[in-house]
Amino acid sequence: MNSHFSQRSSPPEEEAIEVKAFLDLYNVSPSTLKSEEHFECLPINGGCAISLPSAPAIGLNRVLGLNSVNDLEEAYGWMNGRSGNRFLQINMDRAPAGTKDWILAKGLLEHGVGWAKLVYDGSSANLSEANSIRTRLVHVEEAALFGSMVCKGFNFPSTLTRLWSAIVGKVGWSCFFALDGDNPVGTATMYQSGTYAWLGGGTTLPEFRNRGIQKALIKSRIEHGLGNNVSTFAVETLAPAVGEPNISFDNLRKVGFRHAYHRKSFKL
């Protein structure tokens, strides 16, 4: 086998923190959920393959953080044994030539516009503008409410409430509510490992959208992370498409995130 086919490299830190978050999400999930929903995850050389067939989201049914042919072959074989939708996400600008040849040989087709990875440098934080919307950390006794709201916001089946409930109060995780009065109307999560943090789980109940709630939750997580020695925040969202509105991407850019790279999605 040619050397470029076996070449391995670790994912960049902004991708590694995302992998760690999903591995930990799997690890803290209840064993009953894993069994009943066929939730499985395979760590591979700094990346992973994750499968949760009942979840409609690409994020829980994909190969992430891998770019060598050897690693991709292992992940591809593992994913072939799973049901539901399955995807490969990869930064093609960083992929070796052999990996690009492997994707072509497998006949993998691009799916959608792909995802944008964005990064925020905590050393240049400028959050002087106060939040007009109140946010707060989720209490452990509110875990079920938090999980149900995330499911509603992302159109997940209610059986996956336990998935998101499981992270509330766990080491490394910080979960947030945005409030209308005293009532939670939006959710967000932050996973921290060392000085890096991954942001996810951002959603708003449909009747409260377009009020600046997600922007407030982004700022709250940055402020919380800065207070806990986070130096770099990473997040991903649907990549911008010409002529299509992208509120999530725009909100992140307005707060100060920079676009690090584009990650394509391929259907497995």
Domain boundary among 112, 146, 175: 112
147 and 90: one domain? Answer: no
Q: Residue 91: pLDDT above 90?
A: yes
Measured distance CA(124)–CA(50) in Å, rounded: 34
138-197 per-position pLDDT tens digit: 999 999 999 999 999 999 999 999 999 999 999 999 999 999 999 999 999 999 999 999
Measured distance CA(154)–CA(102) in Å, rounded: 33
Residue 72: its pLDDT value, please? Answer: 98
| CATH code of 210's domain | 3.40.630.30
Residue 133: its pLDDT value, please? Answer: 93
Which of 1-15, 47-61, 118-132, 209-223 has the lowest average pLDDT?
1-15
72-85 per-position pLDDT tens digit: 999 999 999 999 99
Residue 193 lies in a domain: yes
Could you list the residue range(s) of the whole structural domain that residue 71 is in?
3-112
Report the pLDDT averaged over residues 239-243: 90
Residue 107 lies in a domain: yes
Under 8 Å between Cβ of 27 and 43: no
106 and 192: one domain? Answer: no
94 and 127: one domain? Answer: no
Neighbours of 211 (CB within 10 A): 16
**Residue carrying the six token digits 């009020």:** 211
Sign of the C-alpha dihedral, residues 220, 226, 227, 229?
Answer: positive
What domain count does the chain have?
2
76 and 160: one domain? Answer: no
81 and 133: one domain? Answer: no
Q: What is the 3-state secondary structure (H, E, C) of 7-53?
A: CCCCCCHHHHHHHHHHHHHHHHCCHHHHHHHCCEEEEECCEEEEECC
Domain boundary among 112, 141, 164: 112
191 and 96: one domain? Answer: no
Look up residue 98 and give its two tokens: 């052999």
200 and 217: one domain? Answer: yes
**What is the pLDDT confidence band of residue 10, given thresholds at 50, 70 and 90?**
confident
Which of 11-25, 54-68, 118-132 has the lowest average pLDDT?
118-132
Report the pLDDT averaged over residues 58-83: 97
Q: Residue 227: pLDDT above 80?
A: yes
Q: What is the 3-state secondary structure (H, E, C) of 157-177?
A: CHHHHHHHHCCCCCCCEEEEE
| Closest C-alpha to 118, from 20, 261, 231 | 261
Residue 268 lies in a domain: no
101-131 per-position pLDDT tens digit: 999 999 999 999 999 999 999 988 777 676 7
19 and 104: one domain? Answer: yes
Residue 6: its pLDDT value, please? Answer: 46
Report the pLDDT averaged over residues 234-246: 92
9 and 99: one domain? Answer: yes
Report the pLDDT averaged over residues 187-216: 95
| Closest C-alpha to 188, from 248, 243, 231 | 248
The pTM score is: 0.94
Residue 258 lies in a domain: yes
Domain boundary among 112, 132, 150: 112
Residue 38 lies in a domain: yes
Residue 43 lies in a domain: yes
227 and 127: one domain? Answer: yes
